[in-house]
Amino acid sequence: MNELSGAHTLPTGQVIRLVRGDITKENADALVNAANARLQHGAGVAGAISRQGGAIIQRESDEWIRVHGPVSHAEPAWTSGGNLGCRFVIHAVGPVWGEGDERAKLAAAVNGSLVVADRLGLKSVALPAISTGIFGFPKDLAAEIILGSIQEYFTEHPSSNLQELRVVLYDQDTLTPFSQAWQKMGWE
């Protein structure tokens, strides 16, 4: 069972929640997948979402690539939620640590995910710690960028359709730096 670790209401009215648990168990309009540019969902968050969501997610991802080509950091792809408890999966491509300009690319992936969610008219989204697994992004730095990008998005888009954003972190090693960044931002 997923466990709430923190909740903060932004001045614009959106509620941000910090959750420890399995993103595939979240009940949200969309889950954000930490994807690669070719949308091959083999391991980590992508593998879990694909396994729980069923083969349709990979089929729709393959079709997306066939039609649109590789996915960029700033413009995520999206598919149905398959067998998951969500309507959509937003496939955000985070940077591999060491490839250059990683901070801007991670911020673009978060921002792009929220743009897609608004475009789809969604009210709630669950987002993982993009790029902190096999892509090697340092968790403490990712926490600051991800939380800061969320706050910046809603400051720039106060009339966003989104009402709730959950940052869902699988383990304590990931939750700890996010909790520290959360506190540095002055969030409850």
CATH number for 154: 3.40.220.10
pLDDT of residue 117: 98
Q: Write the burial class of residue 81 (CB in 10 Å: 0-12 exposed, 13-18 middle, 19+ buried).
A: buried
How many domains are there within the chain? 1
Whether 112 and 125 have beta carbons less than 8 Å apart is answered as: no
Domain containing residue 74: 3-184
pLDDT of residue 102: 97
d(CA 30, CA 148): 20
d(CA 49, CA 86): 11
Helical spans, DSSP H, in the chain? 44-53, 55-68, 102-119, 139-156, 172-184
pLDDT of residue 111: 98
Contacts of 185 (CB under 8 A, 6+ apart): 147, 148, 151
pLDDT < 50: residue spans in the chain: none
pLDDT of residue 188: 75
